Amino acid sequence: MADATGSHAGATILRLGAVPGATPGKWIERWREQHPRQPLELVPLDAADQLRAIRSREVDVAICRGRVSDDDLHRVALYDEDAVVVMSVDSHLTVAEELRPDDLAGETLLTPLDDVFGPLDLPTVAPNFDPVPTTADAIATVATGVGITVVPMSLARLHHRKDVTFRRLPAAPASPVVLAWLRERDADDIQAFVGITRGRTARSSR
C-alpha cells in the first residue's frame, strides 16, 4: 500500500548514480512506468568518486565515465562520447569546423585533475601552473584566453559559457560511458534497469 507520499511500504529503493553530463532521464521515466512499486533515486556523482560510491554501496548501480574493468564489477557499455577541444570564442581555432592534432601545435593544454581521457598524443605544451581541480575550472580558465582543454562533448555542453566554444577532435579517443555495479549486488532490479538501457519495454521478454 502506498503512503501519503506515493511510496510503497517496504519497497527497496534502487539508487542510480550518474556522473556529470549523463542524461538518464528517459531511463528513469521508463523505470517508473515499468516498476512503479520500486522507487528509483538519482544520486549525482563526481567521476573521480564513481567507483568508491559503488563499492561503498552509496549507489546500487552507476552511470560511469571512463574504462571500468575492475574484477569486482559488472559493466555494460552504454555509448561513447566524442572528444572536443574547448577554447575561447576569440581563439583562432574557431575558424575550423573540426580540428586535427596538427592544428593544436604549440597550444597550451589544460588537463584538470578529474580528466577522463588520460595522456593524449597531441603537439601541445603543458601550462606553467599547477593543474586545475575540475573540468569546470579548466573551462573557466580557457574562457580567459589561457589555453585549451579537451573534454567529452557532454561536459563541454554542461559547462557551456558565452565566452567559450568547442570543436570536435575526431583523432582523439572516444570517452566510454558505462553502467557499472558490484558483482555481489547483482539482482533482478539491476538486471531490469540494464534491460531498460538496452531498450527493453514492459512488453519485451526477458
CB 102 within 8 Å of CB 180: no
What is the number of residues in the chain?
206
Q: What is the pLDDT of residue 67?
A: 76
Q: Is 77 helix (H, G, I), strand (E, B) or coil?
A: strand
E strands, 5-160, in order? 14-18, 40-44, 61-65, 73-81, 83-88, 149-152
Q: Measured between alpha carbons, how far is 116 from 128 in angstroms, rounded to an integer?
A: 21
151 beta partners: 84
Q: What is the pLDDT of residue 189?
A: 95
14-80+175-197 and 83-168 in the same fold? yes
Q: Which CATH number fits domain 83-168: 3.40.50.280, 3.40.190.10, 1.10.287.540, 3.30.2350.10?
A: 3.40.190.10
- Which residues have a Cβ under 8 Å from the Cβ of 147 and sit 6 or more positions away? 107, 108, 109, 110, 127, 141
**Positions in the chain short of pLDDT 70:** 1-11, 200-206
pLDDT in tens, 129-172: 999 999 999 999 999 999 999 999 999 999 999 999 999 999 99
Q: Where are the domains of the chain?
A: 14-80+175-197, 83-168
Q: What is the pLDDT of residue 5?
A: 36
Q: What is the pLDDT of residue 8?
A: 42
